[in-house]
Amino acid sequence: MVNEAFLKYQQRIQNLSAEEMVLNMGPQHPSTHGVLRLELITDGEIVNEVIPHMGYLHRCFDKHAESMSYQQTIPFTDRLDYLSSMNNNHAFVMGVERMLGIDQEIPKRVEYIRVLVCELNRIGSHLIALGTYGIDIGAFTPFLWCFRDREHIMGLLEWASGARMLYNYIWVGGLFYDLPVGFEERCAEFVDYFKPKMVELNELLTNNQVFVNRTANVGILPLDVAINYGCSGPMLRGSGLKWDLRRVDGYSVYPELDFEIPVGKGEMGTKGDCWDRFKVRIDEIGESLKIIEQCVKRLQKELKRSPDFDPRGKLPRKIIPKAQDYYMRAENPKGELGFYFIADGKTEIPKRIKARGPSFNNLSVLPAICKGVMIADLVATIGSVDIVLGEVDR
């Protein structure tokens, strides 16, 4: 059963003018970062129109969530944005805790551990974004360096949770386990190891003249367009707006921590271009390192591990929120991750959950900012959006 709009779209493809040509980019193209298909209507090297086709990785998150309890849904949230599973867990769990009304009772140590692992994961996610962006532009070395450093983070998180990518570590009311003995010290070591590596990466890629020429003044996203399309995260901040939900909503223990919100300034070209978005991610890694240092200090001093501390102590026996609906939003590495819950108040199974993925909205702006650009610049722009198809398709 195809509808009118689909027939209109087919007509558009069939009635191309003589100069135009359809070029399918993806779903197996390396620079689409997953199974995204972009249908390009080109005139020589110029892209006249971009028509994205998604859904190759659709796994019915919403439908699955309607048939299992909140606790059982947490592993599914891992698979939304599989590069930042901790952040997904955290957002989902906070939403459920607020509906249950237990969000003020979570022990401080648990909150600090959550923030610590989330920020580690944020660095890991940004490292992939930066490294693969280098590959899109044609620089191979930064990719290997980023993956080498990300490996340390994966090792740390594997040590804590037992899994390398899909952690299921943050639970409603607590954690899967306390941190292993010696984790805080290893984190501090990692920060000391990683800081000089970022300086190297900046020398190699960020301030590289070839890289700057390929990314500055390319894929400019004006701020009003970004807001109207619902862009968030580094996309929105790259366009020059200080908007970070960790500060705006002040959830978890972020109000107690000291960090800056980097924004794009148009240093190399125009405000909101690909280089600005790249630079925002670089700066955010530095801020995350600051947060990790503060968390580690706190966890080693006033919130020290003690034998009677049980991260599962506050776990509710049955998770049955009152009949209500709640929209939880949190700052993921990619932007605003939202979960909309509708609870019926009788069962452990939610009536409806909708996940609002940041990549989904960030990607939707692509057809608007890629009209009339060269194909090579389109590749540069997609990379700077930093999409994860697990979250676009859900």
What strands, in cross-sheet order, belong to the sheet with 373-374?
Answer: 21-25, 37-43, 46-53, 373-374
Q: Are 361 and 231 in contact (CB under 8 A)?
A: yes
Residue found under tokens 């570590």: 169
**Closer residue to another protein, CB minimum distance, 95 or 383:** 95
CA pair distance 262, 238, nearest whole angstrom: 8
* Structural contact between residues 365 and 381, judged by C-beta atoms closer than 8 angstroms: no
Question: Is the CB of 20 or the CB of 66 nearer to another protein?
Answer: 66
- Distance from C-alpha of 320 to C-alpha of 347, rounded to nearest angstrom: 6
Q: Is 334 in the site for another protein (CB under 8 A)?
A: no
Binding status of residue 393 toward another protein by CB under 8 A: yes
Residues 95-124, mask of contacts with another protein (x by CB under 8 A) = ---xx-------------------------
Interface region with another protein, contact rule CB under 8 A, candidates 140-148, 228-236, 310-318, 383-391 = 228-236
Which of 379, 15, 104 lies closest to 218, judged by CA? Answer: 379
Specify the 3-state DSSP secondary structure of 73: helix
Q: Which residues pair with 174 in a beta bridge?
A: 171
Report if residue 28 touches another protein, rule: CB under 8 A: no
Name which position in 325, 347, 371, 372 contacts another protein (CB under 8 A): 325
Interface positions, 244-273, toward another protein (CB under 8 A): 248
Q: How crowded is residue 206: how many other Cβ atoms within 10 Å of its Cβ?
A: 20
Binding of another protein at residue 342 (CB under 8 A)?
Answer: yes
d(CA 375, CA 130): 20
What x-and-dash track marks residues 357-386 binding another protein by CB under 8 A? ---xx--xx--x------------------
Question: Residues in the site for another protein, rule: CB under 8 A?
Answer: 1-3, 5-6, 8-9, 54-55, 58, 60, 62-63, 66, 98-99, 227-230, 241, 243, 248, 322-327, 329, 336, 338, 340, 342, 352, 354, 356, 360-361, 364-365, 368, 393-394
